[in-house]
Amino acid sequence: MLERSRRIKILIPIRHPIGGIRTYLKYTYGSLSSHRFDLTLLFHQDYKTEKDTLSLLKDLEGYRLNVVIGNGKHALASLFNKVFLLLKSNKFDLIHSQGTTCGIIVSLVNTFFGVPHIITLHETFDEPVLGTCFLKFKRELISVLLGKADLINVVSKDARENLLNVFPRLKNKLAKIVVIPNGVDVDYFRGNISNAQNIHDIPGITEKDFVIGYLGRYMPEKGFPVLMDAMKVLVEEFTMRSVKVLCLGWGAFIREYQAYIRGNGLENFFVFLEFQNDVRWILRGIDLVVIPSLREASPLVPMEALVSGAPVVASNCVGLREVLKNTPSRMAIPGDPRDLARKISEVIDSYPHVKREFTEYIPIAVRRFDSKRSATKLEKLIVKLVSEMN
């Protein structure tokens, strides 16, 4: 049995401390008993991730925190080397890898050390992502390396099913696979906001505009191209001229998407904002959150929106459908811009009624999506695993 007075030393490798992984750590580790854990964060940083890094360190300032930063062009090689050196020179009670890439690298290195290892998978898998050449070999190799971990934590039942479909060898490791759904800091999202801005004061947005929020990465699987085409339908076919999409995100395809917007004459209907550490004022100020993803694991944005009382239109894709089941959210066919446009139009046409529905759902969302529930499950899992290994 592990003494309650003994602090558990955890190494947390992260490929890049951005997006959903950063917010997962903020919400989940932010709700753990910080007096029980000493954390060592290992991640690769470049100029693109500096703001996220600083935000993450602030989020976890309640812990005894050690930070190890890798840099250079070869991120994966740097990560491998740093993990090896850390395990060689320190005694950790547990490794908690964030994401598939970190999980695979740590499993390789940890062969020599045997430290208890949990991998949290924040993604779902699509066969093309794994490539076509030597696909079977890659599947087998990834399955073996993931299976070397003591526990694989997936963040939704949909994600678990997806994992087993893509890597069927892991069906032999079912006892190692656990589901701990994501959650958000509901107290934070229901709390008071100091210095909140007015959405309609943002350049490009007027008082008469119906404001749609897009919060996420600019990449195909997040469905931003679907949203662009849906806006084209709304503007050209539904003749909606007082609708603006407020975009708050990051990603490699932003230039291509902005060029597409200009090429289709939609530049007056999209407004792009820079990184915002606090999105509460945005969620409370916009009229609608649209989440057009093609696949997800357990997305945090719809949870944040529902706790904030923001109406949601989302695609009925893997992961999203699980989070939004039994909520007032309007669901569209994944990858179908015309259906997405219809759902948005329906919300606009009956907005007072829709807004009331989501306002009344807030107390349920607060209970359902509280990250304290996820953190409690994770903490019990960590303590149990460390106790057994000791």
Q: Are 154 and 296 in contact (CB under 8 A)?
A: no
Residues 173 and 82 in one domain: yes
- Asked whether residue 330 is domain-assigned, the answer is yes
Burial grade of 237 (CB within 10 A; 0-12, 13-18, 19 or more):
exposed
Give this prediction's pTM: 0.92
Rounded to 10 degrees, the C-alpha dihedral 56/58/62/66 comes to: 60
Please state the domain count of the chain: 2
CA 40, distance to chain mean position in Å, is: 21
Grouping H, G, I as helix, E, B as strand and the rest as coil, residue 272 is strand
Q: Would you say residue 227 lies in a domain?
A: yes
Q: Which domain holds residue 283?
A: 187-368
Q: Are 246 and 355 part of one and the same domain? A: yes
Same domain, 355 and 255: yes
40 and 173, same domain (yes or no): yes
pLDDT (tens digit, 9 = 90+) per residue, 122-131?
999 986 555 5
Kindly state whether residues 80 and 136 are assigned to the same domain: yes
Spans in the chain with pLDDT lower than 70: 1-5, 45-51, 72, 127-134
Establish if 3 belongs to a structural domain.
no
Same domain, 126 and 83: yes
Residue of 197, 161, 193, 203 lying closest to 179 (CA atoms): 161
Same domain for 244 and 173? no
Answer yes or no: are the C-beta atoms of 148 and 169 closer than 8 Å: no
DSSP for 24-53, written as a single string:
HHHHHGGGS-GGGEEEEEEEE--TTTHHHH
CB atoms within 10 A of CB 128: 8
137 and 267 fall within a common domain: no
**Do 320 and 302 meet the contact criterion of CB atoms below 8 Å apart?**
yes
The CATH number of the domain holding residue 194 is 3.40.50.2000
Q: Are 178 and 236 contained in the same domain?
A: no
The closest of 101, 115, 128 to 21, measured between CA atoms, is 101
CA dist 196 → 107, 189, 281, 285, 361 (Å): 44, 13, 6, 9, 23
Q: Classify 253 in phi/psi space as left (phi over 0), alpha (psi -120 to 50) or beta.
A: alpha
- Domain-located, residue 2: no
pLDDT value at residue 47: 45
Tell me, yes or no, whether 239 and 171 share the same domain.
no
Residue 166 lies in a domain: yes
In a domain, 84, yes or no: yes
Cα–Cα distance measured from residue 162 to residue 294, given in angstroms and rounded to the nearest whole number = 14
- Measured distance CA(11)–CA(117) in Å, rounded: 9
